[in-house]
Amino acid sequence: MKKFILKIHITPLMAKIFVYNLKLPLKIPFETSFGVQNERDVLLFRYSGDVEAWGESVTDSYPGYSYEDNGTALYIFRNYLLEILRETEDPYNFIEASKKIKGHNMAKSAVETMLWDLKAKREKKGLKELIGGKKERIESGISIGILPMERLISMVRNSLDKGYRRIKLKVKPGWDVDVVRAIRREFGDIPLTVDANQAFEKNPELVLALDRYELLMIEQPMNERNFLGHSRLQKQMSTPICLDESIHSVDDAQRMLEMDAGRIINLKIGRVGGLSESLKIIEFAGKNKIPIWCGGMLETGIGRALNVIVQSREEFRIPGDTSPSDRYFERDVIKRPFIMKNGMIDVPDGIGLGIEPDIEFIEKLSKVHEFEVV
């Protein structure tokens, strides 16, 4: 008897989420005021159904930058976000519905990224188009961790040679004014900034002492919640303060503006709970002429794609902490890693995030958690 095979195309009856946890060694240890990192403990989300879609959580194994880590992100996903995801796969609706869960912005953002990639792919559009991005390439800056002085100098020199458009140094009490003075003496008038990751809460005088070095900005000198302290410092300084950890939402951006607690915004999509909130902050910054740039969290190519795409918006006029893949890892988790030419990185122009995750490589290194969606 002849068999008839009927081929029909329908939206999937089955979709799964895979969460991958893997460790990627960093080429150069990354030391900040809150600790040293030798590897990136990566958490990736993959939707596998009618299309494949991805997101990366910017959390790591240690809650030094914020209270979230990979463990909390996975916990919040498993216990709360998955249920919401089963109700809606629209990124805006997902974020709206997630508001009943307090905090955990990075976990929410990772899932939301995956849903943006999903939406764009179903519509066969690039994510850049969906968010009104215009630029074809973006300017790249480098964030250099705390290193012995000799190595720091050679790394700054090397970075300038490679074409980076802005150099950021990590500072902390005891690694502060002298370091900036030495770098200025060696390299003169380069585009230079520093990032304290909240370490000068008890040493405002050290922040004030940095004012004479013509830094483009001083990032997050005081505690995350200390808008008042930042505002007091800003009144005594001409160097703009840039807020990173303090900004969790567009309300915080408004607070910064009204209190003059800072004059520049470092946007991290994970920290503010995703692209939906990021777009509000970008528009707020644009309307109020607040310079805005995109930070980084040592992301793999998956999170990096999102950072590069968001910077295609014209509001971004300061080079971001968005280095090419080979600044961090021997091998990235995507097939065409991000490269830098003349200090710039091309914005992906494929559909969705425009990247191709290397599933074989990821699976080889990962502990995998599997969840059913439909």
Instruction: Assess 293 for contact with ligand OSB (CB under 6 A).
Output: no
Of 68, 117, 224, 321, the one binding ligand OSB (CB under 6 A) is 321
- Annotated catalytic residue: which of 268, 287, 289, 335? 268
Residue 144 interacts with ligand OSB (CB under 6 A): yes or no = no
Question: From CA 128, how far away is CA 131, in angstroms rounded?
Answer: 5
Could you confirm whether 102 is annotated as catalytic?
no
Tell me which residue has tokens 């003059």: 260
Q: Which of 195, 277, 315, 332 binds ligand OSB (CB under 6 A)?
A: 195
What is the rounded distance in angstroms from the CA atom of residue 130 to the CA atom of residue 205? Answer: 45
Residue selected from 159, 197, 198, 366 as contacting ligand OSB according to rule CB under 6 A: 197
Instruction: Note whether 244 binds ligand OSB by CB under 6 A.
Output: yes
Cβ-proximal residue to ligand OSB, closest one: 296
| Residue 143 binds ligand OSB (CB under 6 A) | yes
Instruction: Give the C-alpha separation, 160 to 241, whole Å.
Output: 24
Least Å from the CB of residue 135 to ligand OSB: 19
Q: Interacting stretch for ligand OSB, rule CB under 6 A, among 68-76, 98-106, 290-298, 357-365?
A: 290-298
Q: Among Mg ion, ligand OSB, none, what does residue 298 contact (CB within 5–8 Å per kind)? A: ligand OSB
Considering only 210, 281, 297, 355, the residue that binds ligand OSB (CB under 6 A) is 297
Q: Is 125 a catalytic site residue?
A: no
The CA distance from 344 to 260, in Å, is 32
Structure tokens at 190: 């380069």
The one catalytic residue among 108, 168, 170, 172: 170
CA atoms of 149 and 174, how far apart (whole Å): 13
Which residue's CB is nearer to ligand OSB, number 220 or number 366?
Answer: 220
Residues that bind Mg ion (CB under 5 A): 195, 219, 244
C-alpha to C-alpha distance for 47 and 89, rounded to whole angstroms: 11
CB-count exposure of residue 339 (10 Å: 0-12, 13-18, 19+): exposed
Q: Assess 66 for contact with ligand OSB (CB under 6 A).
A: no
Crossing angle of the two packed helices 105-122 and 91-98, in degrees rounded to 10: 160
Q: Which does 74 bind (CB under 5 to 8 A by kind): ligand OSB, Mg ion, none?
A: none
Kindly state the smallest distance separating residue 328's Cβ from ligand OSB, in Å: 7
- CA separation, residue 228 to residues 109, 223, 225, 241, 252 (Å): 28, 10, 8, 13, 13
Q: How far is the CB of 264 from Mg ion (least distance, A)?
A: 11
Asked if 270 touches ligand OSB (CB under 6 A), the answer is: no
Residue carrying structure tokens 């002429």: 289
**Tokens, residue 144:** 């250099």
Q: How far apart are alpha carbons 361 and 366 in whole angstroms? A: 9
State the greatest distance between any 2 C-alpha atoms of the chain, in Å, as a whole number: 89
- SS3 state of residue 28: strand
Q: Should residue 338 be labelled a site residue for ligand OSB when binding is judged by CB under 6 A?
A: no
The residues carrying an active-site annotation are 170, 268
Binding site for ligand OSB (CB under 6 A): 65, 143, 195, 197, 244, 295-298, 321, 323
